[in-house]
Each structure stands twice: as structure tokens, then as C-alpha cells.
Amino acid sequence: MTCKNCGANVPEDSKFCPSCGAAMDLPVPEVVDSPPVEQVYTPPVEEVITPPVVEQEYVPPVEAEYTPPVVEYTPPVQEEYKPPVQAEYTPPVQNEYKAPVSDSFSNAAQNAGETAKEYAQKASGVAAGIGAGISDAVKNAEDKTGDFTKHDIDNGKGLGILAYLGILLIIPLIAGKDNRFVMFHTNQGLILLLCAIAFAIVHRILVAILMFISWRLLFISSILSLVYIAFLVFAILGIINVLNGKAKELPLIGNFKILNY
């Protein structure tokens, strides 16, 4: 093949001239029509069905039976508790205190003893006088049993007793107003209650006055307290009169009349 630029011979497979470097015009290969290739029919290959493999039955492994280890428990041996021995406490011996005795203190103690004896003698004398006075008053009390009918006496004993039990006299005062025997003893019980209340008030006032003056005068209050025994005795006498079916006035205070009967 000859180069068109320089006329040098160029190999046929060269794309450029080795002398001048010009591009070579390579001949275009002729396209030869080839006949169509007939496709050969290949029949489909039938798939061979392989039967499923039969699974073997699962046999679980045999577990060996668990036998726990036998451990014998031996409790620890506890020693017996022995409390500590405490030494016996011996209190120290204290000498008895003896206060110095002065002459003035000795005289005061002696005077106090003599005063206490005098107070005791006075109290016993007053008590004996009150007892004797009550005894004489009981003997001289007026008996009004004849003024009442046997019917009133028999039907009024229950309510008559309540007339001497303090505030309970309200019951015979309301329920026994149609019974003269009941109203007689209700009048006696009311007088006794009013006298006891009045004496209690006076006694309290007197005790306050005596304490204000001197504690040494409290023996007077102790003597006057014996009057409460007299009120108790009067109440018992009234109950005895009711049980015996009598309408006797109480000593000293029975002749007063507050209620109509």
C-alpha cells in the first residue's frame, strides 16, 4: 500500500505512514450477507420428580433421672448460755442523821403534842354531846302516825323511803302527792336536804376563813364535820320510821313544814 502524501510504501495493516505520519485510508471490508441460521428445536427437558424423603420419627433422648445429693444437716451445737454472775450489791451503810435538838424546838414539839391531845379531847366531847343531843331529840320527837289512814301508810312505804335519799325525793314529790303519808315524809326529807346543803356552804366558808387566819384552827373544821354524821343518822331514822309505818318528826328539824299534807 502506497502513502498518498509522500508515496512511500506502507504496510497494509498500518494506520499511519512511517515516513510522514499521514493517516492511511484503510480499505473498508465488504459486508457479505450470510444466510439466516436455522434454529434447531430442542424439546423441553422433563423434570424428574423426586419423591419426598420420609422423615424419620423424632425420638427424644432419654434423660437420666436426677437424684439430688443427700446432704445430712447437722445443726451446730449451741453452748448453754450462762449469764455472768453479778456481785451482790451491798449499799453503803449511812449513818442516821440526827438533827441538833434545840430547846425551842423541843418546847414547840411538846406544845404541839399537848395541843393535839386537847383537840382530841374537845372533839370527843363534842361528839359525845351531839350523840346525847340526838338521843334526847329522838325520844322527844312528836309522833303523828294517828293522823294518817292505814291505807295511806301501807301504800306509801315505797315512795316514803325515796324521800330520804337526797335528790331522789323528786320522785315521791311528783308520784305521791295524793298520799298524805308520803307527803309527810317528803316534807321531812326536803327539810333534811336543804339543811345539809346550807351547812355544807357555811362549812366551806368557815374553812376558808380559818385557813386565812391560821392552820392551827382547822381542828374547828374537823369538829364541825361531825355534823354530817348527824344528817346521815337523821336520814336513817326517817327510813326506819317509814318501814315501821310511823309518821314521827325528825329531831330538831322535823317541826318545820314546807309542803302541805
- Range 124-150 average pLDDT: 70
Quote the CA–CA distance of 250 and 242 in Å, as a whole number. Answer: 12
At residue 258, φ and ψ (nearest 5 deg) are: -110, -40
- Determine the pLDDT at residue 101: 45
Share of the chain above pLDDT 90, in %: 26
Share of the chain above pLDDT 70, in %: 73
- Range 110-136 average pLDDT: 58
Domain ranges (residues) in the chain: 144-261
pLDDT tens, position by position, 147-177: 889 999 999 999 999 999 989 999 999 999 8
Quote the CA–CA distance of 92 and 89 in Å, as a whole number. Answer: 9
pLDDT exceeds 60 at position 126: no
Burial zone of 3 (CB within 10 Å; 0-12 exposed, 13-18 middle, 19+ buried): buried
Q: Which residue has the cell 448460755?
A: 81
Q: What is the mean pLDDT of the chain?
A: 78
- Determine the pLDDT at residue 109: 44
- Determine the pLDDT at residue 105: 44
Quote the CA–CA distance of 182 and 157 in Å, as a whole number. Answer: 7
pLDDT tens, position by position, 53-91: 667 777 777 777 777 777 777 777 777 777 777 777 777
Could you tell me which residues come within 8 angstroms of residue 9 by beta carbon, excluding any fewer than 6 positions away? 1, 2, 3
pLDDT exceeds 70 at position 121: no
